[in-house]
């Protein structure tokens, strides 16, 4: 029971970070077509269209910059999980299969409800699926 209680603020913080990221990207012309897409391979935080490109957006939030901060938390293992989840998304969503694919990261340093810095890294890593560049 204590573990569940201690995780609740992190879950709320994660949802708030995802909302900030969605709002930020929408203000820059991206269209959010899916949020929190889940499958056995993992979860895609945001799936967006950016001028005909399908952008898979991983949202990372860290309170502090220790150990590389939010951007540093995108490990090779995490990239592989995102790629597998994106492959599943494309299998389920035939209408997006012909779109070029890009993997982005939105990193929030600090707390969403307080002072924070936001960094949007387009094309954060590359892969061979979905016509990605």
Domain range annotation of the chain: 2-125
pLDDT score for 116: 74
Q: Which of 22, 80, 77, 27 is nearest to 55 (CA)?
A: 22
**Fold classified for 2-125:** Trna Endonuclease; Chain: A, domain 1 (3.40.1350)
pLDDT score for 109: 82
Strand order in the sheet with 116-125: 31-39, 42-50, 53-62, 100-110, 116-125
pLDDT score for 115: 65
d(CA 32, CA 48): 4
Residue indicated by tokens 């899916």: 34
Task: For the chain, 133 residues long, give each residue's pLDDT as a single digit of tens.
Answer: 333 333 355 677 778 889 999 999 999 999 999 999 999 999 999 999 999 999 999 998 876 555 455 566 677 888 999 999 999 999 999 999 999 999 999 988 876 566 678 989 999 887 766 554 4
Q: For 29-49, b where at least 16 C-beta lie within 10 A, e where not — what string?
A: ebebbebebeeebbebbbbbe
């Amino acid at each position: 029971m204590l573990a569940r209680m201690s995780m609740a603020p992190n879950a709320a913080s994660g949802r708030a970070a995802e909302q900030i990221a969605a709002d930020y990207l929408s203000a820059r012309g991206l269209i959010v077509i899916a949020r929190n897409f889940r499958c056995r391979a993992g979860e895609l935080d945001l799936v967006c269209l950016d001028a005909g490109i399908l952008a898979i957006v991983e949202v990372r939030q860290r309170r502090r910059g220790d150990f590389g901060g939010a951007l540093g938390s995108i490990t090779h293992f995490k990239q592989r999980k995102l790629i597998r989840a994106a492959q599943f998304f494309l299998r389920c969503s035939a209408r997006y299969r012909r779109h070029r694919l890009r993997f982005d990261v939105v990193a929030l340093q600090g707390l969403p409800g307080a002072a924070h810095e936001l960094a949007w890294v387009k094309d954060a890593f590359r892969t061979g699926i979905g016509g990605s560049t």
